[in-house]
Amino acid sequence: MIFWRLENFGCRGMTSQAYGEDQICIHAYLPWPHVSLLDLAALSLRLQQDALIAGQRVPKLRWERIEAEDWSSSWKQHWQPQPIGDKLLICPAWLDPPPHPGRHLLRLDPGMAFGTGTHPTTQLCLESLEMRLESWGGDPPAATLADVGCGSGILSLAAALLGVKRVFAVDVDPLAVQATMHNRDLNGLTDRIVVAQGSLEQIPEMVDGLVCNILTDVILDMIPEFRLVVKEGGWLILSGILIEQAKLVAEMLEANEWVVAALWRRGEWCCLNARMT
């Protein structure tokens, strides 16, 4: 009822968060010039009436004006260089990198695309990728990789820096394609990473391995097609999967002749490593 009331009032964004078993905090956002203090007072009264009609406690309300800010750039001041795994250092493109002996420097400007290395799903992918490539003995001369749903290109960049000779990065979002191409060139990997807009159909040849860090529902839809682009004996690294979704993904993999070799977990997220049967 509260969401309905707020939506009719003109709120353009709403979130809710539970605290304990009997308290919920709801945030609603609306353009300040479109309302007055009298409008807010009227909304408060209506919410109180709704609560009484529903037999619920009268909600406590608080208003706050949020001043204009360039959110597209202000977040950058909070993102700092970050070592991941044993061999990578992710560094924002606009900062001078710190000393990084023994690590590959990965310069990154995500733009509007997902993938800075701070999210657990991305970190799990990067660490899994490092371990997988280590199993090649550090010298995978013929290794090729597909990065499906490449976002900022962070996984493709990491793969190339860790020794993969050819990476095919694809994403249905043109902004992601643009970000990946920019970061590829920024890191001097133009001749190692091929970028295209689309999905599996844009991977031009069979590859040794495939990484995919996107929504679980999308992964489930693609699992039957992974064998069309991955060579015999190949492997998968799949992330973006909540712990409670892992069993469903594992069952779908097994039904399509993949074996889950490892599951890595961080918080509520997990990453599945699979190989062909």
Instruction: Spell out the domains of the chain, with CATH numbers in brackets.
Output: 2-54 (no CATH), 75-276 (3.40.50.150)
When computed from its CA atoms, the radius of gyration of the chain, rounded to whole angstroms, is 23
Q: Are 167 and 192 a contacting pair, CB within 8 Å?
A: yes
pLDDT of residue 10: 87
pLDDT of residue 71: 58
Q: Are 270 and 264 a contacting pair, CB within 8 Å?
A: yes
Low-confidence ranges of the chain (pLDDT < 70): 68-75, 136-142
pLDDT of residue 137: 55
pLDDT of residue 68: 65
